[in-house]
Structure 1
Amino acid sequence: MKDKSDKPTGKYLNVKSFYTVLILLALTLALITKFISDNKFERLSVEDDYSYTDFSFTFPIITEPPVTADVNEQVTGVADTRPPVTENTKVAEIVPTTLFNACVPYKGSFALPVGETVCKGYSNSAPVYSATMKDWRVHNAIDFAAVKGDRVCAISPGKVTSVYSDELYGTVAVVDHGNGMLAFYCGLAQEGCAEVGDIVQASDTIGYIDTVPCESADNEEHLHFEITVNGERVNPLAVMGKEG
């Protein structure tokens, strides 16, 4: 008779082997799960580190301080002794192109250019005989009797715009007396004559009497005096209010 108490049966061995394998599988699965979990945590930590890194950059706005004498001294080591510059807020004045608007032709007070004696009057475009030129010609001017060297004066404020030498009228000084009125002082000496650009007041010296070549035989030394208003020759005595 066989003894069955000391030896496990085949069925018992199969059950024991099954549970052993099952436990090993469970342990293996637990280890794998832990490994995966640890790696995932480490990866998330690294990603978190990068996700919170701010690589953005904003350029700062640089405001330059005004350059002052103190800054100049700090940079160059030399003190700036120049006076401070202040902003000029004055508005430029517009100066009229016509000079001396107070001088209105045919009105106001005028000085006579030389003496008080008229030796040849204004012909108002009518021809008169010229003893010097031996012909008839208009005399749209006033001749004032004078002596060589007599001082010739400005009739009113103005500016000398031209000085030239003429074959017929000698040295001529042209003065702009404003409001379109030009005065021609003819027969002056070159020496002592006013210059272009000179500003004159009434009775200021324009020059000195010399000779009027085209009228030398008609009268002795005199001033040949013409006035134009807006380019038209007019009677100088009428302009100055000296008629009669």
Structure 2
Amino acid sequence: MKVIAMLQRWTRPTTAKLAGLAMLAALVAGVARPVLSAEAAVKIPAPSVDEKPGASRSQTAVFAGGCFWGVQGVFEHVRGVTRVTSGYAGGAASTAQYERVGTGSTGHAESVEIRYDPAQISYGKLLQIFFSVAHNPTQLNYQGPDHGTQYRSAIFPLTPEQRSIAQAYIAQLDGARAYRAPIVTRIEDYKGFYAAEDYHQDFLVNNPTYPYIVINDLPKIASLKAMFPELYRNDAVLVTKGAS
């Protein structure tokens, strides 16, 4: 159990540390169970304001909720979602690289771009999953073990309707005192989304025994399945070809 306690304090590694940390994956998989996440799921009501069905069969949402590995992994298991890409939002294209974003000085947040079919799932329902399962919206500029503005909770609306829905939902949840602390999620202007490096894509699906994933992110997948059984799908929709 000392190993688990140590790993719970780990932050996201730099690229140079990724290979070394992977050597502990088998050990952690043998002693840790996916019940230790610092971002425990919270049951919350559905949004009272949501998008109106339209003719479009494809819409896009951009959310930031800490490490994009777990957030991407959650939405890849949601029915109606057609693609989820890990990346960066909030800063300039010239600084959208993992190592630079990790300094916390670029304005970027680790984010996900979610493409979805509004005939199967709504923007409001995506927000409900985002707020209840994918991350903790009461943690200011951090998520679990990861600290810095690059791990902030943020929504980047692509349309005025998305902005109105997000604002109304945050007000609804705060008014209902759905959490023990106020929601700190920022609604920011959308300046563009920049896909992260290939090795970050589908990271949860491709590395289910990786220490960080076992402790911080597998509990989110279990919560999604338990809390939204009608929306959960076992086979994840993947970005990279040949991912398993």
TM-score category of the 2 structures, normalised to the smaller one: under 0.3
* TM-score (norm: length of structure 2): 0.24
Q: Which has the higher strand share?
A: 1
* TM-score (norm: length of structure 1): 0.24
Greater RCO, CA 8 A, separation 6+: 2
Larger radius of gyration: 1
Q: Which has the higher helix share?
A: 2
